[in-house]
C-alpha cells in the first residue's frame, strides 16, 4: 500500500489571492504531492490548504509553503475572527494510508525541526505530536493568541519546542501537530425541527447533554460539588455534533465531526443515528460526507452493510463503495463521485496512467508493441490476478447460492482471501514494469570515473534485486491464491467447478512464468547467497503450484465426471 499523509496548514491570509496563489505554487512544486483543496475565508482572514502525498514529500511541500508565508504575510497587520498566533498558524499532519500515528508523529517532529531551523519559525507541537502533556490541546498552545505571544515567549513555560524563542512580530508562531483524520459527516432527517435534530445529536455525540433532575428539558441542572454542570455522555466516542436546519434542502440534519474514524467509523455513526432517530419518531433519509474521505472508510462501510445482509464481502472495491453509498444514502442530496470524494482515487486521477487501467485490448496491444515493457513479468502477474479472481468469483457465487444460506460466511472468508490475492497481483502488474524501467535507468547512469562506476554498479544491483523480488512475490501470491481455488473446486458450487479449474491453470502459469523472470534476473545478482535463496525457494513454489494444480484438476474432473461430462 502506498504511504500517504495529509497536511492541512492554516495560513493567516484569506483576502489576497496573489499570496494564496504563491503558497499553492510552492506546494505544487514538489513532485508527488497533490494539492486537493484551498478554502479561503475573508471574514476569518484565514485559508485552509489540503494536500496529500508520500510523507517526505509532504514535509518538503509544507516547508516550501511556510517560506512563502514568512515572506508574504505580516502578522502586525493581521486581524480576523478566527483565533491565530502566526502567519502559518497551524500545520497538522494526518495519516491516510500505509502509515500509523507513531510514524506520523515522527514526521511532524521533523517538520517542526525544519520549520525552526530552515525557515526561522517559532514552533510548538500539539495533539499527538505534543512533547509535553500541557501542549496536547491546541487551544492551550495558542492561548493569548498573537497579541500575547511576546509575553508568553518571555516565560520559561512559553519556550517553543523548535526554532527561536525570540518574538518575531512579522511571522508570530506556528503549531505543528499530528492528528487522526477528521470526517465532517451530516445525517439527513425527515423533519424540519432543529430541536429534534439537536436532541438526536446530543444522544450520539461524545459530550452528550447536561444532566437535569426530573424533566430532561426543563428540570433543574444537576451540578457537582464545585457547582459545575454534570454531563451525561452520548453513545459515540470521538464524535462532536449539533442539529441544524438546512434551508437549501428543506431538511434538518445531525451535523457531526468524526474526529477519529478508527474509533467511530462513518457506518457506526450512521447506524447509531438511525437507532436514536427512530426512538424519537424520526427517520434518517440519507447522509453526506463534506469534503474527502479515505478509501478504507468506504470499504469498511461496504463490508459492514454486506455482513448485515449475510452476503459475501469479497467483492470488488467499486462494489463495496456502491453498497456503502446506497446503504447510507450518500447520494441523496447530490451525486457521490468516488473519483472526487475518495482521497486515494482523487490522487490517482492526476497520476501517470497505469497498465491495470487499460482495457483488455489496450493491455494486449501495449504488450505487443515494440517497447520491451510490459513483458513476461507483468503478463504473469495478470494471469495470477485472473486466476485469483476466478476463485473469488466461485466463492462469491457459492456464498449467495440458494439453500446454502448457513454457509455464507464460510464462502465470504474464502472470497476475502481471493480478493486480497488478486488486488495485490494487480498492483504487481505495474510494479514489474516499474522494476524493469528502474533497472534500465540504472544501466544508463554515467560510468566515466571510478566513483561513477561504483555508483552505477550499486544502483544496478539494487534495481536487479527489485527486479527479482517483484516476480518472486507474484509467485508467492499466485500460489497462495490456489488454496482458494482448491477449496472452491472441492466445496464450491458444482456448476462453477470448471471456473475453478481455469483459475488454477492461470495461477500455475503465473507461478511458472514469474519464476522465469526470477531466474533470468538472478543471473546478474552479485550476492551469491541471496541468488541461491531466491532460486531454491522459487523452485519449491513452482513444485507446490504444480501440486495444487493437480489437486484442483482432479477435483474438477471428479465433479464433471459425476455430471456425465
pLDDT tens digits, one per residue of 396-423: 999 999 999 999 999 999 999 999 999 9
Residue 565 has pLDDT above 70, yes or no: no
Average pLDDT on 338-349 reads: 86
pLDDT, position 134: 92
pLDDT surpasses 70 at 118: yes
pLDDT at position 182: 85
Q: Where are the domains of the chain?
A: 4-178, 183-349, 356-562
Give the count of alpha carbons within 13 A of 201, CB side only: 24
The predicted structure's pLDDT at residue 371: 85
Choose which CATH entry (1.10.260.40, 3.30.465.10, 3.30.990.10, 3.40.50.300) describes domain 4-178.
3.30.990.10
CATH of domain 356-562: 1.20.120.680
What band does 37 get if pLDDT is binned at 50, 70 and 90? confident
Range with lowest mean pLDDT among 5-9, 179-183, 251-255 = 179-183
Mean pLDDT of the 110-120 span:
97
Residue 99 pLDDT:
93
178 closest CA partner among 58, 33, 354: 58
Helix (H) or strand (E) holding 173: strand 173-178
* Band (61; pLDDT cuts 50, 70, 90): very high
In angstroms, the CA 312 to CA 292 distance is 27
Can you give the pLDDT at residue 343?
A: 86
Q: Percent of the chain having pLDDT more than 90?
A: 80
State yes or no: pLDDT of 114 exceeds 70: yes
The answer to whether residue 2 scores a pLDDT higher than 90 is no
In this predicted structure, the answer to whether residue 393 has a pLDDT above a threshold of 80 is yes
Q: How confident is the model at residue 457 (pLDDT cuts 50, 70, 90)?
A: very high
pLDDT score at 292: 84
Task: Count, in order, helices (H) and strands (E) of the chain.
Answer: 17, 13
Predicted local distance difference test score (pLDDT) of residue 63: 98
Nearest in space to 419 (alpha carbons), one of 288, 296, 315: 315
At residue 535, the pLDDT reads 97
Q: Residue 1 above 70 pLDDT?
A: no
Hey, which CATH number is domain 183-349, 3.30.70.670, 3.40.190.10, 1.10.3720.10, 3.30.365.10? 3.30.70.670
Which of 89-93, 371-375, 436-440 has the lowest average pLDDT?
Answer: 371-375
Q: 441: how many CB neighbours lie within 10 A of its CB?
A: 12
Q: Are 97 and 294 in contact (CB under 8 A)?
A: yes
Q: Supply the residues annotated as catalytic.
A: 82, 432
Q: Which three cell numbers stand for residue 64?
A: 516550501
Output the CA torsion 371→377→383→388 (10° steps). Answer: -140
pLDDT at residue 120 is higher than 80: yes
pLDDT at 562 over 90: no
Percent pLDDT > 70 in the chain is 99
Average pLDDT, the chain: 93
Is-contact 455 442, C-beta < 8 A?
A: no
C-alpha cell at 24: 499553492
Helix axes 101-118, 55-72, angle to 10 degrees: 30
How much is the average pLDDT of 328-355? Answer: 87
pLDDT value, residue 350 = 64
CB atoms within 10 A of CB 212: 16
Q: 463-504, pLDDT tens digit by residue?
A: 999 999 999 999 999 999 999 999 999 999 999 999 999 999
Instruction: Find where cell 482458494 sits.
Output: 484
Task: Identify the pLDDT of residue 97.
Answer: 86
**Which of the 8 DSSP states describes residue 133?**
G
Mean pLDDT of 524-530: 95
Distance from C-alpha of 145 to C-alpha of 89, rounded to nearest angstrom: 10
pLDDT bucket at 351, cuts 50 / 70 / 90:
low
Give pLDDT, residue 290.
Answer: 80
Question: pLDDT of 77-97, one tens digit each?
Answer: 988 777 899 999 999 999 988
pTM, two decimals, is 0.80
Amino acid at each position: 500500500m502506498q504511504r500517504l499523509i495529509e497536511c492541512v496548514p492554516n495560513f493567516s491570509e484569506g483576502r489576497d489571492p496573489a499570496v494564496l496563489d504563491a503558497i499553492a505554487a510552492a506546494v505544487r512544486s514538489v513532485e508527488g504531492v497533490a494539492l486537493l483543496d484551498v478554502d479561503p475565508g475573508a471574514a476569518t482572514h484565514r485559508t485552509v490548504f489540503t494536500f496529500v502525498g508520500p510523507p517526505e514529500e509532504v514535509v518538503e511541500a509544507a516547508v516550501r509553503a511556510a517560506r512563502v508565508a514568512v515572506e508574504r504575510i505580516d502578522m502586525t497587520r493581521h486581524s480576523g475572527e478566527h483565533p491565530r498566533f502566526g502567519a502559518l498558524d497551524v500545520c497538522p499532519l494526518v495519516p491516510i494510508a500505509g502509515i500509523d500515528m507513531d510514524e506520523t508523529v515522527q514526521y511532524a517532529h521533523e517538520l517542526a525541526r525544519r520549520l525552526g531551523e530552515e525557515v526561522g519559525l517559532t514552533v510548538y507541537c500539539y495533539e499527538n505530536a505534543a512533547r509535553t502533556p500541557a501542549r496536547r490541546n491546541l487551544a492551550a498552545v495558542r492561548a493569548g493568541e498573537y497579541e500575547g505571544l511576546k509575553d508568553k515567549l518571555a516565560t520559561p513555560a512559553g519556550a517553543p519546542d523548535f526554532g527561536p524563542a525570540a518574538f518575531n512580530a512579522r511571522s508570530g508562531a506556528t503549531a505543528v501537530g499530528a492528528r487522526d483524520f477528521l470526517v465532517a459527516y451530516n445525517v439527513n432527517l425527515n423533519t424540519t425541527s432543529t430541536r429534534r435534530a439537536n436532541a438526536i445529536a446530543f444522544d450520539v455525540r461524545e459530550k452528550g447533554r447536561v444532566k437535569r433532575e426530573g424533566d430532561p428539558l426543563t428540570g433543574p441542572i444537576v451540578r457537582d460539588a464545585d457547582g459545575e454542570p454534570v454531563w451525561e455522555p452520548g453513545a459515540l466516542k470521538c464524535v462532536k455534533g449539533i442539529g441544524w436546519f438546512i434551508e437549501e434542502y428543506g431538511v434538518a440534519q445531525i451535523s457531526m465531526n468524526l474526529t477519529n474514524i478508527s474509533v467511530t467509523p462513518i457506518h457506526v455513526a450512521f447506524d447509531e443515528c438511525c437507532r436514536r432517530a427512530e426512538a424519537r419518531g424520526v427517520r434518517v433519509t440519507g447522509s453526506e460526507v463534506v469534503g474527502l474521505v479515505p478509501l478504507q472508510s468506504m470499504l469498511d462501510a461496504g463490508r459492514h452493510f454486506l455482513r448485515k445482509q449475510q452476503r459475501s464481502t469479497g467483492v470488488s472495491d467499486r462494489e463495496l463503495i456502491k453498497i456503502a453509498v446506497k446503504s447510507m444514502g450518500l447520494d441523496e442530496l447530490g451525486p457521490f463521485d468516488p473519483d472526487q470524494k475518495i482521497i486515494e482515487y482523487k490522487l490517482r486521477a492526476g497520476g501517470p496512467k497505469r497498465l491495470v487501467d487499460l482495457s483488455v485490448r489496450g493491455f494486449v496491444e501495449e504488450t505487443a508493441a515494440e517497447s520491451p515493457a510490459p513483458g513476461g513479468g507483468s503478463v504473469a502477474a495478470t494471469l495470477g490476478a485472473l486466476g485469483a479472481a476466478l476463485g473469488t468469483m466461485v466463492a462469491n457465487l457459492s456464498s449467495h447460492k440458494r439453500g446454502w444460506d448457513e454457509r455464507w460466511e464460510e464462502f465470504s472468508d474464502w472470497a476475502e482471501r481471493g480478493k486480497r490475492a488478486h488486488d495485490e497481483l494487480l498492483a504487481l502488474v505495474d510494479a514489474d514494469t516499474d522494476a524493469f524501467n528502474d533497472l534500465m535507468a540504472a544501466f544508463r547512469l554515467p560510468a566515466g570515473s571510478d566513483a561513477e562506476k561504483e555508483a552505477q554498479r550499486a544502483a544496478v544491483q539494487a534495481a536487479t534485486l527489485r527486479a527479482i523480488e517483484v516476480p518472486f512475490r507474484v509467485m508467492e501470491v499466485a500460489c497462495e491464491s490456489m488454496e482458494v481455488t482448491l477449496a472452491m473446486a472441492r466445496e464450491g458450487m458444482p456448476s462453477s467447478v470448471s471456473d475453478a479449474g481455469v483459475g488454477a491453470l492461470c495461477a500455475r502459469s503465473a507461478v511458472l512464468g514469474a519464476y522465469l523472470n526470477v531466474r533470468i534476473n538472478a543471473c546478474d545478482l552479485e550476492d551469491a547467497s541471496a541468488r541461491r535463496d531466491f532460486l531454491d525457494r522459487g523452485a519449491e513454489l513452482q513444485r507446490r503450484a504444480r501440486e495444487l494444480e493437480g489437486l484442483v484438476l482432479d477435483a474438477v474432473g471428479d465433479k464433471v465426471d459425476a455430471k456425465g461430462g
